[in-house]
Amino acid sequence: EIEVAIMKYNGRHTNRWSFKALHKCINSELSSDERDRFFSTTLPAMKQLVFRTQKFITKAVPLLLKQHEQSLTLSQVQVACLLANAFFCTFPRRNNTPKNTEYSRFPDINFNSLFGGSGAQVSRNIHKLKCILHYFRRVTESEPAGLVTFKRQMTIGDVGWTWSNTDLCDLHVSVEGRIEDDGQGMLQVDFANKFVGGGVLRHGLVQEEIRFLICPELILSRLFTEELDDNEALTITGVERFSNYTGYASSFQWAGDHVDTTPIDASCHRCTEVVAIDATRFRDHKYQFKITSMRREFIKAYTGFHHLGNNAALPAVATGNWGCGAFQGDPRLKALIQIIAASEARRDLVYFTFGDKQLAKDIYEIHRYLKNKQVKVGRLWQDLFSLEKTVKVPQSDVFSYIYKLHQTQDQYDGSTDDDPNDPDTVEAVAMATGSDTSTDYNANTP
């Protein structure tokens, strides 16, 4: 029934689109009761969402185009209507987007790629579909009443961080926890693709795709958000989480219903703010240590973290190893770049290392060392800039380089503010020389 309805609207793709994953999900993965409820209740309600679209969407949805700061606010019901259309693939102009056509720089939005697949991809798509179908069951059984705002923002010109006298932000580092679980009330970073959502409707199933699946309202950003430029970010406020999950990538599985208890503010937005910032994909690991690359990553992070208007008491940024998976980013360099960006944006930083104890310890200790030396944003930025000019430094160990750079400067100045018997000084020297005298970072993490 679903396949017939979808292909009636997309006849030209009859011999190209597969529904193998959708059939298996409904016929084999759902229990008898779940399948009966889907066909008797959820599916008819999803159709009604499509039919109600003209009632709730009375004019064309505006596009969030490159180099234009603009925002779009929709009710959760409007979002559900448009996502139901995406499920039934009723955006035919988005099925084929040749170069230089109107939508060639936009992500895909129709769900057809989720319905098929081959080999291991079928299993992935099944769990993606479980998230999507669960979302539709929830919003059709109990109509949500909140608002969701999508805001495209950009940074123009030089931020002026090279000579900045801004103090480094406060930092909390955590080995355990996840941004979506433990970052409530914070600005939560989506490790994005420049086409927001990345492979959520195709093969991808890592941090960004998982976030979009457990909060499917994020998927709608793909309908109207053009590819992000280097100085742009997308902030989404008010999204609700509907699903739990286990695993990651090939081990990802839908793990049941999630009741989102995040408070709703006076403007009817759930107090969840997600910012999509896309890191550079480095095919050569060394290229990220060039000044142009570091500057690009800083501007991207700063654009996402910066808040126009009153900057008093802004929420902290909840982030982690941004761009450090398939994009080959160096986690220690990315940590310092995000510390600099958060500092300039007047936000504190909460950093999740996703189980990497050594990385958590290293980040905490370099931050404490720099704070104790009262290093400012401008000085740290110049330290990073010098990486490109120093051929003797092993670029795989950014932190050791920073320690040595400051110790060399202290010796050059002929004096130092550090007491040689101070534990932090001993610890910094140990980090630079490879000695093991450091304390457990957990004991002093704020």
Q: Supply the residues annotated as catalytic.
A: 190, 208-209
**Taking Cα atoms as reference points, which of 175, 178, 176, 172 lies closest to residue 357?**
175
**Rounded to the nearest 5°, which phi and psi values hold at 225?**
-100, 110
d(CA 191, CA 277): 6
Q: Which residue has the tokens 């009375």?
A: 58
* C-alpha 431 chain-centroid distance: 31
Q: Measured over all CA atoms, what is the biggest interatomic distance in the chain, rounded to whole angstroms? A: 80
Q: Would you put residue 44 in left (φ > 0), alpha (ψ -120 to 50) or beta?
A: alpha
Cβ-proximal residues to 224 (8 Å cutoff; 6+ apart), any chain: 61, 62, 63, 64, 72, 106, 150
The CA radius of gyration of the chain, in Å to the nearest whole number, is: 24
